Copies of this chain bind each other. A is one copy, B any other.
Amino acid sequence: MKSYRKELWFNIPARRGFVNITSQVEEALRESNIKEGLALISAMHITASVFINDDESGLHNDYDKWLEKLAPHEPVSQYSHNDTGEDNADAHMKRQIMGREVTVAITDGKLDFGPWEQIFYGEFDGRRRKRVLVKIIGE
């Protein structure tokens, strides 16, 4: 069994944003030289997500509005967590909806994807450097 590990770094200039990281994961997969196995792609920070969905900007606007409705940022005082001096309690909730991680099948050296699957980094408390972990195991 072979394994490969790589960190991807991001610094989203706004509080929230979505970045298509599919090509960076594909690059890590090529570097791994693994042809059959599983790839785990996970947010290393607890106010961010990794998820798979569509690369369509209207949908990303919809996600942003929808998450803000389900877990509003304001008023920050509505969350006990923000009594610690933080203002990001909503980001911890948005990340649970969108998920921490995805596991992707590796077949014939490629991400084994359906027609529209793309991997995204979802940032809910940005304006600082944060990481995604890519871990691939297989042969």
A binding-site residues for B, Cβ under 8 Å: 1, 3, 5, 36-38, 40, 42-46, 51-54, 56-59, 61-63, 66, 70-71, 79-84, 89, 92-93, 95-105, 107, 112-117, 131, 133, 135, 137-139
* CB closest chain-B residue, reference A66: B93
Closest to A122 in B: B96
23 contacts between A and B (CB under 8 A): A1-B37, A1-B139, A42-B105, A43-B114, A44-B114, A44-B115, A46-B114, A53-B92, A53-B95, A56-B81, A56-B84, A59-B92, A62-B81, A62-B89, A62-B92, A63-B92, A63-B93, A66-B93, A99-B99, A99-B100, A101-B102, A107-B135, A112-B135
> Number of copies of this chain in the oligomer?
3
Q: A1-B36, A45-B115 are in contact. List 10 more A-B contacts (CB 8 A).
A: A5-B112, A42-B103, A43-B114, A54-B92, A58-B81, A59-B80, A61-B80, A66-B93, A70-B70, A96-B98
